[in-house]
Structure 1
Amino acid sequence: MLINSFMSIFLFMGMANGVPFNINLKCLESTPVDGQSFQEQQEQVVCTDIQELKDVNGQRNWKHLIVFNENKQAFQINDINSNFSALETLDLSRIGELELNDDAFKAMQNLLFLNISGTGIESLSGIHFSPYNKLENLDASWNTLTELRFDLKSRLLYLQYGNFSHNALTKIEEDDWKVFQKLKCLHLDNNELKTVSFHDYPQLQVLTLSDNRIEELTVKSFSGLQRMEELNITSNPLRHIGKHTFSSMTQLKALNLSANSLELLDVDVFAGLNRLLCLDLNSNDLKELAENQFQYLIKLQYLDLSRNRLTALNSTAFKHLSSLRKLYLHENDLKALTTNTFAWLTALDTLDLSQNSLEYLDADLFGSSTLPRLKKLILKTNNIKRLHPFAFASLPFIQYLSLGNNELTTLDVRMFAPMRRLDKLHLGNNLLEVIQPEVLDSLTDVGELLIDNNRLSFLPDTNATFPRLRKVSIEGNPWQCPCLNELMEFLEIRQISYVRDHSPYYSGKRPLCVVTSVDACVKDISLVKEYGIEDIYNTA
């Protein structure tokens, strides 16, 4: 099970176990609720506007305590009596500034959850806790801690969840965390860490190191992390990852390396990660992928390579990714794709190649065999001028094809003939002057057709009835008004949606069609050009 958010551990205590609190001055126990025992009612307490915890007349049956303090003076914890010995949950995240004396939490030997986030503490020491404490969950985020002292770590032997994000930690010593043998989840995001070294954490499953100052990872950065499931190292100035850096993490399922400064990946950088399901490399500076770049990731299902600087793809880069379902390559600088680049991806259902510099798609780009699961192909916002008639021959089960914002001038019926399940076809913002009748006839099962902002002045006569068409976009073309009237009448009779919200064309701000000297729709492109219909439209 992947743990996505440490903060979800700290439930808002005002609704503990679904029981609302009455919150008034000082301390109030929870309001009686039908079906709840008297003992359960007494266990949940909220205190407001108190200066020191010693001012609270704690009860031995209190287990969950939350303190709200709107005073500007620092909240103090000292001289705590034994009445707090049964306390299991203490939330001080809403008190403002916190002052701790040496024995702050020593009387709370049964404390399991402690939230002191955002309290302005500069240091936290082992002397604050009883040597017999049972603390499992500590949130000390959003403070100004510069170090985690060894006496603190050696005192918190039962800690399972630690959140030290948004502090000022500058380094993690090699054995800093070795005493945390039960630690499962550790968050160190938004600190000042430059190097990391983690060894022998038998229970650690989640580690987050985002927004630090880490520039390099090596095989010495992580070892003995056999139970690690999720590793997040985003938004660092990370430029280099050595071979076998993650090899000890044989159980890793999610690896996020996005928003770093990686330019090149060694072919063995992912060695050992044969159970990885999700790899995020978006927003780096990757210029190329090596042959067999992902050869160890035999179970990978999600790969994000978007927002990099890739100009080409090695034809074997994805060779071993037979389990991959989603591949994101948008916002790179890909200019051409070689034969069989995606032929290996037999489980792929989504491929996004938008916002690149592609000009042409060749035959066999997806291989000669069928890709039975590919349903969504996004090619919008490229420079595509031509498509090979058989570019999509191996994609019979495509449901969504986006070719908008390109430079297509013609369509070949053979492009769409294999697509027996095509539901959404986006062709807007191209340079199409004519769509041939046979192309329209091949699109009879399409439910959404976008052909706006092309150079269309008419649609040809066709036998297609478009029984499934429910939405179409047509504005931004130099339609002859008689042709547009025919089309709109057809759409209205069929109750097909064609007016798009916020479009300037249907509010009178932009022209919808060109008034011609004849009342009939001229469906001869040579005559259309002779009449200069497009020029008239563009100067309107």
Structure 2
Amino acid sequence: MQLQQVIVLAWLGYSGVYAKDVQECELLANQSYICRELESFEQLQQYVQDDWVAVRVVNARHTGLENGDEPLPKLRKLQQLDLSQSGGLTLGALGFRDFAALQQLNLSHCQLEQLLAKQFAAAAPLRNLDVSHNDLQLISSELLQQLPNLVYANFSNNLIAELQLDAFKSLKQLLYLQLDTNELENVTIGANAQLQHLHMSNNNLRDFRWCQLRGLPQLRELHLHSNWLEQLDSGIFYALPQLRVLNVSNNNIYAIERSLFLGAEPQLQLLDFSSNNVKQLEDYVFSKLGRLETLNLWYNSISSIGACAFRQLRALQTLQLQGNAIAVLPAELFANLTALRVLNLSHNKLQQLGAHVFGSTLLRNLSYVDLSYNSLQQLHALAFSSLPFLLELRLQRNKLLQLDIRNFAPLRRLQLLTLSENRLLQLDEDVLSTFDKLQLLEINNNQLSYLPALAPHYLPHLQHIQIEGNPWQCSCLDELTSWLHQRQVVYTRAGSAYYSGQKPLCVVTPTPMQQCLRDLLAVQALGIVQHYEQI
């Protein structure tokens, strides 16, 4: 017997047929099976048993699956069928009519050019249909009338240029409809009383009128990103009173008008206008959106913001303004945003931060502020006075020369502070003494040649620090690294040019007994920074 097995395996290897290429079906879990190298539904029927619930067909060598015109009674009890890895599908006259119990059907990547009504039984029980990544050009109302039980339909990544009006009207249970990455030129899909999620991103949409969506009263999410929209029609919320998510990112929209949000009290929770061409935000532009939680405005061309632009946003938790052209933040701009947790202002043109930008009311929920990649030269001493609960503050890649104790005294809960790539010449002892909770500190790539003598009680929770790229006096660096070793604080970075010997870590100074010189004027007189830059 063993000799026969060896002979069979040797023959399989010689003939180029390996175990993974042999036609077979195997149990995955819970009556779900994977079948390999099938060429037809008739072959599948030879394997399927009465207790099988789900089948996935995977063809690594064969280039497709066919079904003929013969009845397939043994497939009537299957509830789930996944043909997305079958290599292609050629449907005969019967199509899926024999799959009387089928509830989930995945036909993505099957090279389909059409899907016909006659390929499905009338009132088919199908609830989940995925025909994405094919070459479909049309979705007919006749097809959808055969599938009245659909809850989820995915037609994305096809060649659909037009939808028949009210094609989806008969789908009384449809909640999710995906039409991303097609060639649609308008958003008109007609009426559907229950639809809640509509995705039409990455099409050729250029025009948006709220009346085009008048038949979707239950719509919760509308995704229109990556199209060619230049403006949105006012009053969208008259047609979509239940809308929670509106994503129009990566279009050519040049303005956000207050009139856009007219209508009944909007339920909107997420508004995404990122990657457009918006240039200004007028006062009270979002004042109707009292339930808004997330506002994404990154990578526009915003250079002007009215002082009252964010008023009435009492539920706002995340505000993304990075990647714009903002040079000035008006006083009280973020005042009264009492629910705010995350504020990102990185990659703008800020040169200073005023005293009253965050207002006088404590913002108890604000834990993350990103001001990195600006041109900040000055932080008003009271700029962060209303942010005592801040946990992360990012200030890297600015032009800061010094830090004021009054900036950081209120930030007793701060856990992460990035100050890298500024122009800091020194860090005062009283500033370091405020960092009771700090766990990560980045001060690399500044102009620091020394730190104050570090007392044992300084930075008690520090775990990571980045210090390279500064013109350290070697004696001062020795003291610092010794203190870090004693505290088991990580300061080296794998792959850093400074710790591999490619770039210098410190400068040898002509001080008596190689002592650490902690006098800025004396350091400047020795030209330590200039000497380091020339190495």
TM-score (norm 2): 0.89
What is the distance in 1 between the residues matched to 2:112 and 2:213? 29
Structure 1 range deviating more: 453-462 or 402-411: 453-462
Change over 3 Å in CA distance of 1:357–1:85 after alignment to 2: same
Query: What does the per-residue CA deviation read over 1:72-99, in whole Å, with 9 as the maximum and x for residues that have no partner?
Result: 3662342224443333323322322322
Change over 3 Å in CA distance of 1:403–1:94 after alignment to 2: closer
**1:416 matched residue in structure 2:** 408
Matched, 1:171 2:159: no
Q: 2:488 aligns with which of 486, 490, 495?
A: 495
Change over 3 Å in CA distance of 1:166–1:480 after alignment to 2: same
Query: Residue 53 of structure 1 contacts residue 78 of structure 1 at CA under 8 Å; is this kept in 2?
Result: no
What is the distance in 1 between the residues matched to 2:25 and 2:476? 75
Query: What does the per-residue CA deviation read over 1:102-148, in whole Å, with 9 as the maximum and x for residues that have no partner?
Result: 33222333322222222112111211122242222211111111111
Share of identical aligned residues, percent? 35
What is the distance in 2 between the residues matched to 1:124 and 1:100? 9
Matched, 1:514 2:469: no
Query: What does the per-residue CA deviation read over 1:167-206, in whole Å, with 9 as the maximum and x for residues that have no partner?
Result: 1000123322212222111111110001121343122121
Q: Report the Cα offset of residue 312 of structure 1.
A: 2.3
**2:14 matched residue in structure 1:** none
Change over 3 Å in CA distance of 1:101–1:215 after alignment to 2: same
Q: Report the Cα offset of residue 400 of structure 1.
A: 1.2
Q: 1:288 aligns with which of 273, 277, 280?
A: 280
Query: Residue 434 of structure 1 contacts residue 459 of structure 1 at CA under 8 Å; is this kept in 2?
Result: yes
Aligned residues: 510
Q: 1:383 aligns with which of 375, 384, 397?
A: 375
Query: Residue 222 of structure 1 contacts residue 246 of structure 1 at CA under 8 Å; is this kept in 2?
Result: no
Change over 3 Å in CA distance of 1:457–1:73 after alignment to 2: closer
Change over 3 Å in CA distance of 1:363–1:131 after alignment to 2: same
**2:269 matched residue in structure 1:** 277
What is the distance in 1 between the residues matched to 2:256 and 2:502? 51
Matched, 1:64 2:54: yes
Change over 3 Å in CA distance of 1:132–1:509 after alignment to 2: closer
Structure 1 range deviating more: 110-119 or 212-221: 110-119
What is the distance in 2 between the residues matched to 1:356 and 1:28? 58
Query: Residue 54 of structure 1 contacts residue 78 of structure 1 at CA under 8 Å; is this kept in 2?
Result: no
Matched, 1:267 2:258: yes
What is the distance in 2 between the residues matched to 1:121 and 1:372? 55
Query: Residue 323 of structure 1 contacts residue 348 of structure 1 at CA under 8 Å; is this kept in 2?
Result: yes
Q: 1:483 aligns with which of 476, 485, 489?
A: 476
Q: 1:533 aligns with which of 520, 528, 534?
A: 528
Matched, 1:239 2:230: yes
Query: What does the per-residue CA deviation read over 1:410-443, in whole Å, with 9 as the maximum and x for residues that have no partner?
Result: 2111111111212222111111112233323333
Change over 3 Å in CA distance of 1:481–1:203 after alignment to 2: same
Q: Report the Cα offset of residue 348 of structure 1.
A: 0.8
Change over 3 Å in CA distance of 1:462–1:64 after alignment to 2: closer
**1:318 matched residue in structure 2:** 310
Q: 2:352 aligns with which of 339, 350, 360?
A: 360
Q: Report the Cα offset of residue 67 of structure 1.
A: 3.3
**2:319 matched residue in structure 1:** 327
Query: What does the per-residue CA deviation read over 1:475-533, in whole Å, with 9 as the maximum and x for residues that have no partner?
Result: 21112222222222222222222222222222222122221221222222222121111
Unaligned runs of 5+ in 2: 1-18
Query: Residue 342 of structure 2 contacts residue 368 of structure 2 at CA under 8 Å; is this kept in 1?
Result: yes
Query: What does the per-residue CA deviation read over 1:382-428, in whole Å, with 9 as the maximum and x for residues that have no partner?
Result: 00011111111111111111111110112111111111212222111
Query: Residue 277 of structure 1 contacts residue 302 of structure 1 at CA under 8 Å; is this kept in 2?
Result: yes
What is the distance in 1 between the residues matched to 2:387 and 2:178? 43
Structure 1 range deviating more: 277-286 or 316-325: 277-286
**1:181 matched residue in structure 2:** 172
Q: CA RMSD in A?
A: 2.4
Q: What does 1:123-138 correspond to in 2, within 5 Å?
A: 123-138=114-129
Where 1:162 maps in the other structure, the secondary structure is strand
Q: What does 1:56-205 correspond to in 2, within 5 Å?
A: 56-57=45-46, 63-69=53-59, 70-72=61-63, 75-205=66-196
Query: Residue 38 of structure 2 contacts residue 65 of structure 2 at CA under 8 Å; is this kept in 1?
Result: no
Structure 1 range deviating more: 22-31 or 430-439: 22-31
Q: Which amino acid is the alignment partner of residue 57 of structure 2? A: V
Change over 3 Å in CA distance of 1:104–1:437 after alignment to 2: closer
Change over 3 Å in CA distance of 1:181–1:530 after alignment to 2: same
Query: Residue 454 of structure 2 contacts residue 483 of structure 2 at CA under 8 Å; is this kept in 1?
Result: no
Q: Which amino acid is the alignment partner of residue 133 of structure 1? A: A
Query: Residue 141 of structure 2 contacts residue 166 of structure 2 at CA under 8 Å; is this kept in 1?
Result: no
Query: What does the per-residue CA deviation read over 1:346-375, in whole Å, with 9 as the maximum and x for residues that have no partner?
Result: 111111111111001011000111111111
What is the distance in 1 between the residues matched to 2:466 and 2:122? 70
